[in-house]
Amino acid sequence: MAFVLCRSFAPTSSPLSLATKQAPKTLSIFLSLRSFHVKTPPSTFFTPKPSPRSPTLSKHVLLQPFRRTYTPQNPAIQRPAAGNTTQRLLYGAGIFGGTLVAINLLFNRETREDGGMPAYERSYLNETFLTSGLGLGIIGIAAKTLHQSGWSYRLMAMNPWLVFGVSLAASIGSMYGTFATSPDNYIQKYALWATFNVTQAAVLSPLLFLSPALLSRAGLYTLGLMGSLAFVGSTAKQEKYLYLGGPLLAGVAVVALSGIAPLVLPATAARTLLWTENIWLYGGLAVFGGFTLYDVQKVLHHARLAERGLVRRDAVNESISLELDFLNIFTRLVQILGMKGSNRRR
């Protein structure tokens, strides 16, 4: 139910309003300086008349004061250092490794007692991750196609309440339709799953107004965060984080209300809107980080039940939860990075 939290329609500090604030800057034009050196003729009022010279020399002397020279000054071209890319990659790898170690030490003090993950659980988890990656790829391709067709402009011009209601109905309908369809009915199940992914792409397509570098950074951070949490959830003690379902559901309700608040509260309630913005961003990051732990362990729990024949093996249903975790974390990181970038430019 994390689709409720798509704050793309909030009038303040939403991804749509942020997209308009992130218009690309025009490049500065560096003009070369030109200096014209003109020599003034010396005064001859109190000096004796010079002796006549050759016509060529006299012409040269007469034209000398009116000559000007052009000395171009090449602008300094700032070239990126050769080691900048390597340093950034090393910094990113260090941050990812440090985050993984810190999260593992903080949340994973009790590891599995069965000697490691069984082959059946590993295969089911890998299939779920593969399906989630495929779904995110469909969302990215569909969002790019819709954005190039002009859908993002039309979406931004629509009534936010209409967009909210239609997208919510489409997300709920396609998601629960996918859940209710048997894995044996491949065509209907994957058609509903694809409809769900296209619905998410239609809502998130205006994010492509932002800088590709910003979106890439947010995507890498999201992969690092979810990868670390998924590693912790898969190597932790069995069913250690399954108790988080109730508290996380309450937290997601609070985050959802904070996302709807800008559509209801007046613009004069600036302090209240600021608090709801912080709850939406940072509280949402914490909630969906916890959902990542919960969903990974839920996948492993369902794998054990499927091995006993109690439930059907269905990686498509499991992948939807991980996709929603990724999208909610990604959109919040995009907003946070965009706000920090705009504050640095002021």
Task: Assign 3-class secondary structure to 65-122.
Answer: HHCCCCCCCCCCCCCCCCCHHHHHHHHHHHHHHHHHHHHHHHHCCCECCCCCCCHHHH
Q: pTM value?
A: 0.69
- Calculate the average pLDDT of the chain: 75
What 8-state DSSP symbol labels residue 290?
H
Output the six-digit token pair for 117: 């993950």
Our measurement of the distance from residue 56's CA atom to the centroid of its chain's CA atoms, rounded to an integer in Å, reads 74
Could you give the percent of the chain with pLDDT greater than 90? 37
On the question of pLDDT at 56 being above 50, the answer is no
Q: Give CA–CA dist 237/264, Å, rounded.
A: 43
On the question of pLDDT at 196 being above 90, the answer is yes
Band (pLDDT 50/70/90 cuts) for residue 104 is low
pLDDT tens, position by position, 126-147: 999 999 999 999 999 999 999 9
Q: What angle do CA 275, 279, 282 make, to 5 degrees?
A: 125
Measure the N-to-C terminal CA separation of the chain; round to a whole number of Å.
37
Nearest Cα to Cα of residue 205 among 10, 35, 8: 8
Instruction: Judge contact between 10 and 197, C-beta under 8 A.
Output: no
Winning range, highest mean pLDDT, from 18-22, 245-249, 284-288? 284-288
Quickly list DSSP for 10-63: -SSSSHHHHHHHTPPPPPPPPPPP-----PPPPP-SSSPPPPP--HHHHHHHHH
Nearest Cα to Cα of residue 61 among 37, 76, 39: 39
pLDDT tens, position by position, 64-77: 554 544 444 444 44
Average pLDDT over every residue of 281-290: 92
pLDDT tens, position by position, 200-250: 999 999 999 999 999 999 999 999 999 989 988 888 888 888 888 888 989
Question: What 3-state class would DSSP assign to 185?
Answer: coil
Segment (H or E) for 193: helix 186-204
248-to-1, 237, 244 alpha-carbon distances in Å: 11, 19, 6
Q: How many CB atoms lie within 10 A of CB 248?
A: 20
Q: Give CA–CA dist 194/197, Å, rounded.
A: 5
Question: What 3-state class would DSSP assign to 239?
Answer: coil
Band (pLDDT 50/70/90 cuts) for residue 88 is low
Per residue in 131-160, is it b (16+ CB within 10 Å) or e — as a string? bbeebbebbbebbeebbeeebbeebbeeeb
Instruction: Judge contact between 318 and 128, C-beta under 8 A.
Output: yes
Residue found by looking up tokens 């196609």 in the block: 145
On the question of pLDDT at 274 being above 60, the answer is yes
